[in-house]
Structures are given as C-alpha cells and as structure tokens.
Chain A
C-alpha cells in the first residue's frame, strides 16, 4: 500500500482531491480556449482557407473574379478590384462592417449589418490572405485604446483625420457623392484596420509614419468622442453650421411666423 493510498481517509483528502480536479479542469479550459482565441484570426488552417474559398466563390467571385484577380464588366468598367495582396485586415474591415458584399451600386460602399458570421469572415480573410501578403488582422493588444495617450491622439486626429471625418468624428462630404463616414460607432478594430488598409478613397496611414501606439492614441481619442456629453444642449449631429442653419430657418423662423400671426390676429 503506497503512502498516498494510506492517507485516503485523511480529513483533508476530499479538499485536496477537489483542488486538483478544479485546477485540471480550469487549466485545460484555459489552454483550449486561449489557444483558440489566438489561432482563429491569424494562423489559418487549411480547412479554414477551403471554407473561405467556398464562401468566396459563392458570394464574391461574380465581381472580384473567380481567382480574386479582379473583375470587369463587358463594357470594360471594373466591377471589383483585385483582392490579391489586400490582406486579411481589408477583408475583416469590408465584410465586418457590412460594406461588402456590395448592397447597391453607388459612389462608394455603404456600411450595413454584416452578411457573414464572424467565423465566416475569418475564413474569407484567411482565404484572401493566402493569395498574397498584405496587412493581417491586428490582435486585441494592438488596437485596445486602454491606457493610450488621449492628448496625443487628439492632436493626431485633428492633424490627420479631422479634415474628412469632422472635428467630432461625424463624417463629411467628399466629391461626386463620396463621403467620409461617421466613425463614432465604429469599433476600435475596424478603425485600426481602416488606417492600415485605406478603404475606398481613404488614404493609408502606414505604421512607418503613424506608429501602432499613435494609432492606438487616435482610437482612444475617438472613444472619448463617443462618450462626450453635450454641455451646450442638442448636438444636431455635430456637423457644424448646416444642421444649425436648417433648424434655425425651419423651426426658428417657423415659430416667429406663428407668433406674428398670433400678434396680428384680431381679438374677439
């Protein structure tokens, strides 16, 4: 009889056994779930790429070409650009924000509810990433705005982003129906991906000139914009004089007309 078996009726034996069992279960869970979380977006398995290729053939190839080489319509206009080398980050942004698959022809793709589940988006991203090197999906630590320098983020936002996306992140007009979207409801990951991939007419802000820490600072500033109170009252979309003027002309002058009619009406 081994010493361990001899002590199996010790008062603390049950507690010790319970501790060992809990640690085993917890450790196993942490290993499995942790491993999955890290593996999912980055190191793509062959089955994931195969699923991505299948989804691509069904949902994307009619515009972007059967091998993602880009598609042309019979009259020569481009129906979809080549996706070789755009990277997983571009797919995660375009499909994750519902811009792709394109809902309707127009000056630019409009954001929408995503048409694919997160797993399907990962598979599509893995397939496109397998076609050629491009920016990969950033991991949480890269874009998490926690503890970032908000003041620097504000300076960088005004210098680089505010011209198009507006001082309060409310977006603005460009040329020929194109526009810079409002970014206050965009997730930090999608903001980060937009900066490294330059969707549509947005320029790319490469890591060489806007370091990951700078990007994180910008995201932290945008997060403060999301939660900023309106000390002055109704913000009217924070787009400046356009809505303010419209409200003044319609509601303000309307109220004055009503008051003038009341003043001029004959009393009985």
Chain B
C-alpha cells in the first residue's frame, strides 16, 4: 500500500464530487426522511398483505381492465408483496446512494501462497506425523487400510439392484390382441368402418382397457395402448408397415410419439401429416408413418386392423414393434 505506484492509481481516479447530502445537512435530513418513508411504505404493504389474506375470500372475483375476471385475493396478495419488496429494496438503494460514504477506496490483494518458512514448517510436521504413525515400519497396517477403504466405497453399489425390478418385456408389448375391438376413447363405442368418412379422425382404446387398468391399479396400459384411426382415399396410401394392415383406407397408428411419448393427434387431413405438439415431430401417415420432420427417430408403429364377424373394427394382433420412445435394451 505504501508503494509509490499506488499513489499514481489514486490520481488516475476522477475527481471526487461531493453529493448534496454530503455538504447540506438539510439535504441529508431530507434523504433520511425519504428512506424512512420508503421503509414505512413497505411496512404498510406488509400489513395490507396480512389484511388481504384474512379479509378477502378466495372465491371473490373482480373485473380488472386487460385481465378480465380475476381472483381478488391473488391480485391483492401479489400487488402488496411485490410493492413491499420493491419499497424495501428501493429504500436500501436510496440509503446507500445518498447517505452511506461514497469515497473511492482501493484495497490491495495480498500475495497468494504461504511464505517459504511456513511451508517448510508444514512439511516438517507432516514428515514427523508419518514417522510417528509407523506405517513405514509396519506396512501391513497401510495395506489393510487401503483395502478397507476400497471395499467400503464399492460395497454400497449393490444397492443399485434395489432400483429394479427390470421392466422385462413390458416396454415391448401392449394389451392389443387378435380380434380385440377398437373403442372410441372416453365414450367406449365400438366402431364400424362405415362410421368413418374419408378425412375423419378417431382416438381409440382397446376393448376391456378399463378392467385392465382397474386390475393393475395403474395407468401403464393406457400409456401404451392408445391408437388413432384415420380414413383416407386408398389411392393416397403410398406405403404401409405391412401388407393389408389397413381396412379400406382406414389406418390405425399408435397415439404415442416415438420421441418422448407424448400423445399425438394433430392430424392434417389434407396432407396426412400427424404432428406431435411437444417437439414438432411430424409423421406421414400416408407413407407408413415415416418421420418427415422433428426429433423422433423411429416411424410411428402401425396397428394391423380388420373387421370381426359383427362388422366392427378389430386389431389383427399386437403392434409388430414396441410403441413409444426408444429404450436402452432396444438398441
């Protein structure tokens, strides 16, 4: 600090201009009152926050321009909390700018690294400790200690086995079986081919899914089995994933995107493109469900369909490939 160079640094700083509050006691008093006023405002906001919480019923709605009908309680709590925090911060900054010292000060960093004497003393202490522990004369102790530490750090890895059980074949198959009817999702009606016009779209689930969900106590099958049915002019179909997997232009595809498994039903009936709303993967249903855009890596699995003796649309069997996103064992 006493170095002459540092004095030069000081002279390089701009000339210090005193503030009004530094030279005029009345200005300083005024600044003090302004800060106190801001803090008092924050106090009032805190009280208003508590009053709003206690006095305004949650279900009370109020019309506000730009927003429309909104919850009064939420609005007041947010306004008072936001304003209160702003006034605390504003007061603190006003205080720092008007009243706290603002002389420019240079604080020198000290050298990094310990002095040579201290380093030497530390190494000497270490050396003495090693000698006193006697590991050089008794190597058995060191060897067993290393072994103990190594084994104890590896032993907890067996807990990974508790992350299981492994999914097995659950990711590879769905509940679709040969002859299982396709029902309209939510309403549960069976579907006849003549119900579907060219250009129509239906979200479907397998017959009996409700019983399966109830028996399993989870929604796993509903995460895998949903399908969409679309009908297009048979001459529009360029390719399918199997021969005669359609029924007179009615195509059935998995509703689960092969990227990360979002349900997809953004269907453009003129282009036959199916879009995923999550990451814009786009599949061409007229061309075997091929990916034509987006992050999906695999085509959308097609479900082979036909009609049963009563004339309702049914599956020819399960999907020929796993539905949904890729997984580790699939390769």
| Whole-angstrom distance between the Cβ of A212 and the nearest chain B Cβ | 12
Q: Which of B237-287 contact A (CB under 8 A)?
A: 263-271, 273, 275, 277, 282
Would you call B101 an interface residue if the criterion is a C-beta within 8 Å of the partner chain's C-beta atoms?
no
Complex Cα distance, B194 from A74, in Å, reads: 38
Q: In whole angstroms, how far apart are the Cα atoms of A217 and B101 in the complex?
A: 70
The yes or no answer to A8 lying at the interface (CB within 8 A) is no
* B230 with A203: CB separation less than 8 A: yes
* Among candidates B69, B98, B275, residue contacting A175 with C-beta atoms closer than 8 Å: B275
Give the distance to chain B from A78, nearest Cβ to Cβ, in Å.
Answer: 11
A198 proximity list for chain B (CB < 8 A): 199-200, 269
Give CA–CA (A224, B194) in the complex, Å: 33
Would you call A73 an interface residue if the criterion is a C-beta within 8 Å of the partner chain's C-beta atoms? no
Interfacial chain B residues near A262, Cβ < 8 Å:
93
Q: Which residues of B contact A263 (CB under 8 A)?
A: 93, 97
Task: Tell me, rounded to whole Å, the shortest Cβ–Cβ distance linking B170 to chain A.
Answer: 24
* A204 with B67, Cβ < 8 A, contacts A156-B186, A233-B75 known: no
With A209-B191, A231-B74 in contact, do A204 and B200 touch (Cβ < 8 Å)? yes
CB–CB B69/A229 < 8 A: yes
A-side contacts of B71, CB under 8 Å: 229, 231-232
Are the C-beta atoms of A208 and B196 separated by less than 8 Å?
yes
Interface residue from A172, A175, A229, A235 paired with B273 (Cβ < 8 Å): A175
Q: Of the 9-residue stretches A114-122, A137-145, A159-167, A184-192, which lies at the interface with chain B?
A: A159-167
Interface size class of A (residues with CB under 8 A): 35 or more
Residues of A within 8 A of B97 (CB): 263, 265, 267
Q: Mark B167-211, 1 if CB is under 8 A from A, else 0.
A: 000000000000000001111010110111111111100000000
User: Are B74 and A163 neighbours in the complex by a CB distance under 8 Å?
Assistant: no
Q: Do residues A230 and B67 form an inter-chain contact, with CB atoms below 8 A?
A: yes
Residue B135 lies at the interface, judged by CB distance under 8 Å to chain A: no
Bound CA–CA A63/B110 (angstroms): 84
Closest residue of A by beta carbon distance from B20? A268
Bound Cα distance from A165 to B80, whole angstroms: 36
Contacts between the two chains (Cβ within 8 Å), count: 115
Known A152-B186, A155-B186, A175-B282: A232·B74 in contact at CB below 8 Å = yes
Whether B125 sits at the interface, judged by CB under 8 Å, is: no
- Residue A211, interface by CB 8 Å: yes
The answer to whether A200 has its CB under 8 Å from any CB of chain B is yes
A156 to B102: give the CA distance in the assembly, Å.
Answer: 66
Query: Is B19 an interface residue when CB atoms closer than 8 A count as contact?
Result: yes
Q: Which residues of A in the span 2-28 have a Cβ within 8 Å of any Cβ on B?
A: none
- The smallest beta-carbon distance between A182 and chain B, in angstroms, is 15
How many angstroms between the C-alpha atoms of A232 and B70 in the bound complex? 7
State the CA gap A230–B67 with chains docked (Å): 7
| Chain B contacts with A in 17-67, Cβ cutoff 8 A | 17, 19-21, 61, 66-67
Whether A209 contacts B186 by the Cβ 8 Å rule is no
Residues of A within 8 A of B269 (CB): 198, 201-204
A206 beta carbon closer than 8 Å to chain B: yes
Docked CA distance A234–B20 (Å): 43
A232 to B58, CA, bound (A): 12
A40 vs B246: C-alpha distance in the bound complex, in angstroms?
42
Closest to B93 in A: A263
Is B311 in the interface zone, CB < 8 Å from A? no
Chain B residues with CB under 8 Å of A233's CB are 67, 70, 74-75, 78
Closest to A153 in B: B186
A159, B186: Cβ atoms closer than 8 Å: yes
Query: Measured between C-beta atoms, what is the minimum distance from A45 to chain B in Å?
Result: 29
Select from chain A the residue with minimum beta-carbon distance to B194: A208
Q: Which of A152, A156, A234, A268 contacts B67 (CB 8 A)?
A: A234
Known: A233-B74, A262-B93, A267-B98. A160 touches B270 (CB 8 A): no
Given A203-B267, A233-B67, 14 other A-B residues pairs in contact with their CB atoms under 8 A: A160-B201, A163-B264, A174-B268, A203-B199, A204-B269, A206-B197, A209-B184, A209-B196, A211-B187, A231-B74, A232-B71, A233-B74, A233-B75, A267-B97
Q: List 6 A-B contacts (CB under 8 A).
A: A164-B265, A201-B269, A230-B69, A230-B70, A233-B75, A263-B97
Residues of B within 8 A of A (CB): 17, 19-21, 61, 66-71, 74-75, 78, 93, 97-98, 102, 184-187, 189, 191-192, 194-203, 230, 263-271, 273, 275, 277, 282, 293
Q: Which 9 A-B pairs have the closest CB atoms?
A: A208-B195, A203-B201, A229-B69, A201-B268, A231-B71, A204-B200, A267-B97, A163-B265, A203-B269
